């Protein structure tokens, strides 16, 4: 992957400091204690069922401020402080982290969830579950729609006792972080699942992977991460932190950043949406809008294309000129995937604010999936974009709904759907695309760049040769 010259290579960045209260050399946790208040006048109409007031973005050359005003950086600086923290961790009770737990440590440590400074305590957990937002000490609201929590079992709870600090370790018992000023509270799994997914039906991928067999307690506290999370999978240089992304956008003199999240290969319909968005921003008066193409890099369900192959496919999309490398930044978003529809898409949008994006492209059924036991989609396909337009704490973010793109059989390319001639358009579903690739069949000309399609076929060929037909993602090292 060293040949991926069009991608952005990570360079050391200077973290944004935030005030400390617990440990002088590291950022401390911010507390959220105020109750949620009623929606502001700007959003009250939407809550009551009226159309929300359209947001009219102004043209500005500065990047959007992160939630809370400053980015959280929870990684210990190199040198004596880091080594002292490593030695200190050896003296505390240990909590072994799962793969998904480590991904959340990664997310928290780099400030994607700013201003959150660690795994949630109960007040933060309840606000997230019931309000999809957190109220800060100054009365302001930031969006937070998915719980970022750490589960422990009865034996771990007894071992911790009245201690206020614990060490978090990886699968090889290597210290990863220290959790301080801890709070342990009940893990009501049914409530968590019902509030996050809107159903408790069996078969939800994240629930089965991370919640069902997890402990009956949650532990929250201030997080101090010993060193940056690495995966050693050949892709670490593309895991740009919010600080590094902001530095790259500034280097390119971006006056607008529009984010596009995906967990699938890029086809020409996606590319059409992204290039058309840039055209629209130029018409609005922006001089240099930059695209953040931001594939999700954490846990995904078994039938999704693994990250390595998606990144390889994205490389070909830029090499073939489908997207302009001069106005595109490709990086990996480290969050695990919930498949929680309108609830989760708020998290996807909020985290991109912290990365510097002031526009967010949202499409049909974002973060959705098929119902696990019924033959239907789990969520209404339009609810994600509607929720984003009125979600508390996302007022500063400009939401750009997808236009519907399909394969135009007359023009033999992906184009925006024209309702006056529906017979000319072919909708190629993800299932259909996967079936074609598995069978080594070519899609219609113009559906995907040839290099990108070749990568997809190679993936399914490799999948067939793997024991148990499984391709495992890399885990943090």
SS3 463: helix
The answer to whether 95 and 219 are in contact (CB under 8 A) is yes
445 in a domain, yes or no? Answer: yes
4 in a domain, yes or no? Answer: no
Per-residue model confidence (pLDDT) at position 403? 82
CATH number at residue 448: 3.40.50.620
Is residue 477 predicted with pLDDT exceeding 70? no
Listed residues 178, 198, 225: the one ending a domain: 225
pLDDT digits (tens, 9 = 90+) for 284-326: 999 999 999 999 999 999 999 999 999 999 999 999 999 999 9
Quick one: DSSP state of residue 234? S
pLDDT digits (tens, 9 = 90+) for 106-162: 999 999 999 999 999 999 999 999 999 999 999 999 999 999 999 999 999 999 999
The answer to whether 393 and 133 are in contact (CB under 8 A) is yes
Listed residues 225, 251, 281: the one ending a domain: 225
Q: Do 130 and 241 have their domain in common?
A: no
Q: Of all residues in the chain, what percent carry a pLDDT higher than 90? A: 80
Q: What is the mean pLDDT of residues 400-414?
A: 91
Per-residue model confidence (pLDDT) at position 48? 28
Is residue 362 predicted with pLDDT exceeding 60? yes
Is residue 211 predicted with pLDDT exceeding 90? yes
Q: Do 198 and 345 have their domain in common?
A: no
Q: Do 310 and 402 have their domain in common?
A: yes
**Structure-token match 């078994």, residue found:** 302
The residues, any chain, with a CB within 8 Å of residue 190's CB and separated by 6 or more, are 200
pTM equals 0.85
257 in a domain, yes or no? Answer: yes
SS3 66: coil
Of the pLDDT bands very low, low, confident and very high (cuts 50, 70, 90), residue 31 is very low
Domain span holding position 326:
236-467
Q: List phi, psi (to 5°) of 473.
A: -70, 155
Per-residue model confidence (pLDDT) at position 401? 86
Is residue 217 predicted with pLDDT exceeding 50? yes
Listed residues 162, 195, 225: the one ending a domain: 225
User: How many other CB atoms are there within 10 angstroms of residue 239's CB atom?
Assistant: 20
Is residue 1 predicted with pLDDT exceeding 70? no
Host H or E run for residue 222? strand 217-225
Indicate the number of domains in the chain: 2
Per-residue model confidence (pLDDT) at position 25? 28
Is residue 183 predicted with pLDDT exceeding 50? yes
Q: Do 207 and 146 have their domain in common?
A: yes
SS3 156: helix
Is residue 469 predicted with pLDDT exceeding 80? no
Burial of 132 (0-12, 13-18, 19+ CB in 10 A): buried
The answer to whether 154 and 216 are in contact (CB under 8 A) is yes
SS3 58: coil
Per-residue model confidence (pLDDT) at position 45? 30
Q: Do 276 and 382 have their domain in common?
A: yes
Per-residue model confidence (pLDDT) at position 178? 98
Q: Do 314 and 448 have their domain in common?
A: yes
Q: Do 346 and 453 have their domain in common?
A: yes
Per-residue model confidence (pLDDT) at position 476? 61
337 in a domain, yes or no? Answer: yes
Per-residue model confidence (pLDDT) at position 23? 31
Per-residue model confidence (pLDDT) at position 431? 78
């Amino acid at each position: 992957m060293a040949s991926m010259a069009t991608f952005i290579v990570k360079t050391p960045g200077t973290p944004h400091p935030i005030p400390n209260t617990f440990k002088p050399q590291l950022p401390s946790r911010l507390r959220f204690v105020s109750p949620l208040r009623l929606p502001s006048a700007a959003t009250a109409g939407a809550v009551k069922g009226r159309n929300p007031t359209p947001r009219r973005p102004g043209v500005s050359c500065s990047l959007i401020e992160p939630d809370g005003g400053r980015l959280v950086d929870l990684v210990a600086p190199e040198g004596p402080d880091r080594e002292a923290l490593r030695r200190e961790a050896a003296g505390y009770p240990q909590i072994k982290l799962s793969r998904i737990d480590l991904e959340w440590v990664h997310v928290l440590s780099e400030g994607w969830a700013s201003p959150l400074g660690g795994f949630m305590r109960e007040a933060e957990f309840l606000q997230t579950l019931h309000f999809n937002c957190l109220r800060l000490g100054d009365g302001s609201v930031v969006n937070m729609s998915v719980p970022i929590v750490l589960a422990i079992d009865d034996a771990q709870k007894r071992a911790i006792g009245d201690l206020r600090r614990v060490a978090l370790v990886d699968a090889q018992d290597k210290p990863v972080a220290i959790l301080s000023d801890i709070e342990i509270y009940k893990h009501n799994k049914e409530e968590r699942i019902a509030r996050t997914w809107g159903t408790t039906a069996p078969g939800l991928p994240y629930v089965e992977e991370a919640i069902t067999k997890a402990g009956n307690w949650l532990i929250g506290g201030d997080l101090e991460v010993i060193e940056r999370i690495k995966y050693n999978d050949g892709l670490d240089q593309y895991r740009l932190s919010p600080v590094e992304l902001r530095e790259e956008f500034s280097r390119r003199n971006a006056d607008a950043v529009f984010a596009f999240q995906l967990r699938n290969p890029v086809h020409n319909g996606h590319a059409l949406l992204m290039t058309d968005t840039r055209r629209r921003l130029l018409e609005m008066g922006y001089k240099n809008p930059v695209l953040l193409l931001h594939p999700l890099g954490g846990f995904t369900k078994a039938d999704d294309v693994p990250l390595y192959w998606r990144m390889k496919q994205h490389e070909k999309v830029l090499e073939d000129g489908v997207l302009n490398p001069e106005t595109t930044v490709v990086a990996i978003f480290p969050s695990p995937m919930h498949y929680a529809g309108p609830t989760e898409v708020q998290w996807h949008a909020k985290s991109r604010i912290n990365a510097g994006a002031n526009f967010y492209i949202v499409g049909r059924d974002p973060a959705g999936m098929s119902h696990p036991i019924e033959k239907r989609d789990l969520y209404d396909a339009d609810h994600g974009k509607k929720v984003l337009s009125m979600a508390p704490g996302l007022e500063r973010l400009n939401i750009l709904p997808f236009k519907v793109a399909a394969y135009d059989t007359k023009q033999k390319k992906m184009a925006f759907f024209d309702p006056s001639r529906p017979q000319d358009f072919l909708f190629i579903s993800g299932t259909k695309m996967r079936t074609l690739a598995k069978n080594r069949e070519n899609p219609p000309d113009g559906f995907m760049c040839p290099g990108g399609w070749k990568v997809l076929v190679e993936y399914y060929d490799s999948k067939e040769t793997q024991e148990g037909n499984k391709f495992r993602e890399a885990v943090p090292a």
